[in-house]
Structure 1
Amino acid sequence: MKNKHQLVWGVILFGAIAILIGYSIWLFMFAKSADTVLYNQGYYNGGMMGGRVNSNQIQNSSNEKLTPEQILSDVENYLKGYGNNLQVADIFVFQDADYYVSVEETDTGRGAMEILVNPYTGQIYPEPGPNMMWNEKYSMMMGGSFLYNANTTYTATVARTEAVKIADDFVKSQLGEAFSVPGEGHAFYGYYTFHIMKDDKVIGMLSVNDLTGEVWHHDWHGELEQVISEH
């Protein structure tokens, strides 16, 4: 009887091990196949922030920056994945940091999202800060993509004129009287992003929460070289 029980348990254990090995092989082959599909479609999880790998990331083997025209083309292709209602509003070209791109809705003209683009590889990913924390309509998903919430309804409690004053007071107190926020920028779903000016030139940007009035200075960009306004 004892030998019979041992034989039964041996068969069960062997079967369980065989199933486990088979499942592991299937899981490996499935993951490899899925990764190949994602790579061929131009998507790849490029780190904690994730993002999109464009053809430029493979083709641009030199150490030269992509042109703003190439960046614009890549971003426009990227936005096609979210339908036909998004377009590039502004491109900020920085000397020592990723390009900043503001995206707006074509039907409303309202800001939708803010993204960053690696100037050497073309990798696209969501800008950190207000874009990720305050955006009420286009929120970031795991992997660096945006999730569109068409049912977003809310009313801002901080008007644009009030937000401009809050931003202007902030830069004057934190950066100096030579700095100002005249009001250029975009109203996103949950916040405003304004340009910071000095000597009649745009030198950076900051955001103001349209519910609380909280200010978030975009101090991670570096020196601005050029602003390209598309719309």
Structure 2
Amino acid sequence: MKNKHQLVWGVILFGALAVLIVYSSGLFLLAKNAGTDVYTQGFYNSGMMGGRVNSNQNSSGEKLTPDQILSDVENYLKGYGNNLQVADIFVFTDADYYVSVEEKDTGRGAMEFLVNPYTGQIYPEPGPNMMWNEKYSMMMGGSFRYNANATDTATVNRTEAVKIADDFVKSQLGEAFSVPGEGHAFYGYYTFHIKEDDKVIGMLSVNDLTGEVWYHDWHGDLEQVISEH
């Protein structure tokens, strides 16, 4: 019986030691990363979303200009044929840049990206872009799904969506905020600009089947909006 108890306690102690080693290793890696000057924004740079790294990835440590971001995204889009182009670039002071992409032949929104302004890494934007996009879907792990047969099945038209979005921001953010309708219709949803006293400060999306609103709360302070098309 004594030997049996010793064996049980030995197993428990071994397991506890293993947990302690793993935990200590995690703390070491966390401390190591915290001591670097690498830009991080949420979980986008941790690899959890499988961000694609450009061949001309920036290594200077300086923040990329919007023109450089545009060039990076245009090169990235060449991998999906020649019918996609950059529509808008949202430049934020303390977060990844936002880039909307549209189809050249229809002018309709295709997909939305986030771009690390220091490394040039490109990631699918979370939220509606990944969950509601019926034609171009960038999934977890970076896999790209394209549905060539996607059609316009919207039951909420643009005018109704703008009204839903405007009511939402006024009720949640205040009467000074509005959604005038600027933005893009994607396959499955709309993404609109939010304004405060006539200045664009962010964006939200409205599902074109259900009218559900998804506020993009993962961005920082907006510096400027650059419209390419």
Aligned residue in 2 for 1:47: 47
Contact 2:64 2:117 in 1 (8 A): yes
Aligned residue in 2 for 1:151: 149
Aligned residue in 2 for 1:195: 193
Can you give the 5+ residue segments of structure 1 that lack an aligned partner in the other structure?
Answer: 1-44
Contact 2:194 2:204 in 1 (8 A): yes
Q: 1:153 to 1:114 in 2, by over 3 A?
A: same
State the distance in 2 between where 1:165 and 1:141 align. Answer: 30
Contact 1:111 1:186 in 2 (8 A): yes
Question: Displacement, 1:213?
Answer: 0.1
Letter in 1 for 2:72: D
Aligned residue in 2 for 1:93: 91
Q: Secondary structure at the match of 2:76?
A: helix
Letter in 2 for 1:72: L
State the distance in 2 between where 1:141 and 1:208 align. Answer: 19
Contact 1:88 1:101 in 2 (8 A): yes
Q: 1:145 to 1:228 in 2, by over 3 A?
A: farther
Q: Secondary structure at the match of 1:155?
A: coil
Question: Displacement, 1:189?
Answer: 0.2
Aligned residue in 2 for 1:166: 164
Of residues 207, 213, 216 in structure 2, which corresponds to 1:215? 213
Q: 1:144 to 1:46 in 2, by over 3 A?
A: farther
Q: Secondary structure at the match of 2:217?
A: coil
Aligned residue in 2 for 1:175: 173
State the distance in 2 between where 1:142 and 1:215 align. Answer: 22
Question: Displacement, 1:163?
Answer: 0.2
State the distance in 2 between where 1:153 and 1:54 align. Answer: 31
Q: Secondary structure at the match of 2:98?
A: strand
Can you give the 5+ residue segments of structure 2 that lack an aligned partner in the other structure?
Answer: 1-44
State the distance in 2 between where 1:146 and 1:108 align. Answer: 21
State the distance in 1 between where 2:140 and 2:224 align. Answer: 31
Question: Displacement, 1:154?
Answer: 4.6
The structure with more radius of gyration? 1
Question: Displacement, 1:146?
Answer: 2.4
Letter in 2 for 1:61: S
Contact 1:138 1:147 in 2 (8 A): yes
Letter in 2 for 1:151: N
Question: Displacement, 1:47?
Answer: 0.9
Aligned residue in 1 for 2:7: none
